Amino acid sequence: MRAKLKTIAEATGFSINTVSRVLRNDRRISEKTSRIIKSKADELGYIPDAIASSMRSPNTRTIGVVSADSSNPFFSEVIKGISEKADELGYQMLIGNTEESFEKEEHLIKLFLSRKVDGLIIMPAYNTSEHHIAFYASLPVPFVFAGRYIDGFASHSILHCDEDGERDVFRYLIGQGHRSILYLSGPECISNTIERDKGMMEAYREAGLDIDQRLIFHLPGHMEDGYQAVNNAINKSLEFSAVACFNDIVAMGVMKSLSENDLSIPDDVEVIGYDNLMFSQFMNPSLSTVDVPKHKLGYA
C-alpha cells in the first residue's frame, strides 16, 4: 500500500496533523520536526493524494481547457502557451476537444465542473444562441474565452484585434498596388470573421475603392478550403493579384493550388496568411499578421 500521512505519522511518532503541516510547509513547526518528517516521507516515497486534499481545500489547482480542435496548429500553439503558464503557476490542465460542436462543449464543461476545476479557458464553438449565453453566464467558476469573442462577455475575452489586423493587411496590399484581392474569409457567424471583414472594408473605404463582392468568400478555414477556392477562382477565370487568407492553414492550401497552376508567389500572386504559426515563418514568402494570445492566457 502506498504511503499516506498516517504511515509517516506512525513511523515518526508525530500526529497526522503535524505531518500534514510539515509537508505543506506550514509555519510554526520546529526545524527539527520538519527535518525528521521530511526525510521519512522521502524514504517512504510518499506521494500526496491530491484528490483527498482537494476534498477539503477549496481549490483543485486544475484548470479545464476547452479547445475546438487541438490538432489545429493555431489552437495547439495557444494550448502550449497556456500549458507553460499553468506549469509555472503550479496548475494542471484538463483538456478536451469540442470539434466545434456546442453540445460537446457544454458536455465537456460539465465534466470539468464535476472535476472541480478552478477555472476554464474556452475556445468556444461557432454557434452562439441565447441558450449558450445563459449557459456561460451560469458557470460557477471563472472563465475566459480565447481567440473568439462572445457577445456579452467582452471582459472575459482575450484576443488580439482582428479588425486592426485585417485592416493592416488590406492597407498593405492596396498600398502595393493590388486592385483585385481575393479574400478568403472565415465562417460567417464568428466574431473574428465579422471583425476582420470590418477591417477589410475600412481599408477599402480609406483608399476610396469599391469592393468587388465576387472576390470575397466565407469558408470554414481548413486547408482544403484555400486550395479549392483558388482552383475554382482560376477555373472561373477570376482575376486577382493577391490573396488574403483567414489563417495560415488556408494560405497553405492557396499556395499549393497556385504552385500547381504555375503561378509564382509573390511575383504573380501575393499571399497573406493570418495567425503567424510557428510554420509560417519557414514557408515560402508568406507574410502573416501575428496573433499570439499564447502567453497572455495563463491566468484563469
Partner DNA sequence: GTGAAAGCGCTAACAG
Partner DNA sequence: CTGTTAGCGCTTTCAC
Which residue type, as a one-letter code, is found at position 175?
G
For position 5 contacting DNA by CB under 7 A, the verdict is yes
Determine the Cα–Cα distance for residues 9 and 40; give it in Å rounded to an integer: 9
In the numeric block, which cell numbers belong to residue 249? 492553414
Determine the Cα–Cα distance for residues 213 and 226; give it in Å rounded to an integer: 17
CA 235 remoteness from chain centre: 36
Min CB(110)–DNA separation in Å: 13
Of 66, 151, 158, which Cα lies nearest the Cα of 106? 66
For position 14 contacting DNA by CB under 7 A, the verdict is yes
The CA distances from residue 180 to 177, 199, 205, 228, in Å, are 9, 17, 15, 18
| Smaller CB separation from DNA, 54 or 157 | 54
| Smaller CB separation from DNA, 112 or 246 | 112
Q: Give the interface segment with DNA, choosing from 44-52, 214-222, 262-270, 282-290 (CB under 7 A).
A: 44-52
**Which of the choices its own copies, DNA, none does residue 236 contact, using the CB cut-off of 5 to 8 A by kind?**
none
| Other beta carbons within 10 Å of 213 | 8
| Smaller CB separation from its own copies, 81 or 199 | 81
For position 43 contacting DNA by CB under 7 A, the verdict is no
Min CB(117)–DNA separation in Å: 15
With vertex at residue 157, the alpha carbon angle to CA 152 and CA 113, rounded to the nearest 5 degrees, is: 85
**Which of the choices DNA, its own copies, none does residue 28 contact, using the CB cut-off of 5 to 8 A by kind?**
DNA
Residues that bind its own copies (CB under 8 A): 2, 47-52, 54-55, 60, 62, 69-71, 73, 76-77, 79-80, 83-84, 87, 92-97, 110-111, 113-116, 140, 223-224, 227, 252-253, 255-256, 259, 278-279, 282-284
Phi and psi based region of residue 188 (left: phi greater than 0; alpha: psi -120 to 50; beta: remaining): alpha
Which positions touch DNA (CB under 7 A)? Answer: 4-6, 13-18, 20-21, 23-24, 28-30, 32-34, 48-49, 52-53, 55-58
